[in-house]
């Protein structure tokens, strides 16, 4: 089944909390990833990414409108491009919408880069942690 092109345009957040980041598992493969998803219609990519972080990881905070980069991955027979925005986390909810389907872990940026499955995301995490002084 062919997917509409807009579904391949995605956004995500790189959460920042106490000099660390937050990763979640994917629903099926259980690989470590950042909160991300299809950009919701009528929402800016950064706001849509913050909504995904709330639903997928129980994260509340201040999302920045200036992106830190992007990465691509294969899904639905095509290539999804994910634009990533920093989210400065003020609260980790104990319960959230997808907590039954995903694990969540707060880890140092260096460890996060080792844990993620996608090479381009690994590079993005490393670059952000260096430029933001979280090494």
Q: How many domains does the chain have?
A: 1
Please provide the distance, in angstroms rounded to a whole number, between the alpha carbons at the two ends of the chain. 43
Q: Indicate which CATH number applies to the domain containing 13.
A: 3.90.79.10
Q: Where are the alpha helices (DSSP H) in the chain?
A: 45-57, 109-115, 119-131
Q: Could you tell me the residue range of the domain that residue 107 belongs to?
A: 5-131
What's the rounded Cα separation, in Å, for the pair 55 and 75? 20
In tens digits, the chain (135 residues) has pLDDT values of 566 565 578 999 999 999 999 999 998 888 999 999 999 999 999 999 999 999 999 999 999 999 999 999 887 677 889 999 999 999 999 999 999 999 999 999 999 999 998 999 999 999 999 999 887
Q: What is the pTM of this model?
A: 0.92
Predicted pLDDT of residue 80:
85
């Amino acid at each position: 089944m062919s997917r509409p092109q807009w579904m391949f345009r995605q956004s995500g957040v790189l959460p920042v909390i106490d000099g660390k980041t937050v990763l979640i598992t994917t629903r099926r493969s259980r690989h470590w990833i950042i909160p991300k998803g299809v950009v919701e219609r009528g929402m800016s990519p950064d706001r849509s990414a913050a909504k995904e972080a709330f639903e997928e990881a129980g994260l509340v905070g201040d999302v920045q409108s200036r992106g830190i980069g992007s990465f691509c991955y294969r899904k639905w027979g095509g290539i999804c491009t994910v634009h990533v925005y920093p989210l400065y986390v003020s609260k980790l909810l104990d319960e959230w919408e997808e907590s039954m389907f995903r694990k969540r872990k707060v880890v140092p940026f260096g460890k996060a880069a080792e844990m993620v499955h996608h090479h381009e995301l690994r590079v993005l995490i490393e670059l952000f942690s260096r430029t933001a002084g979280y090494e």
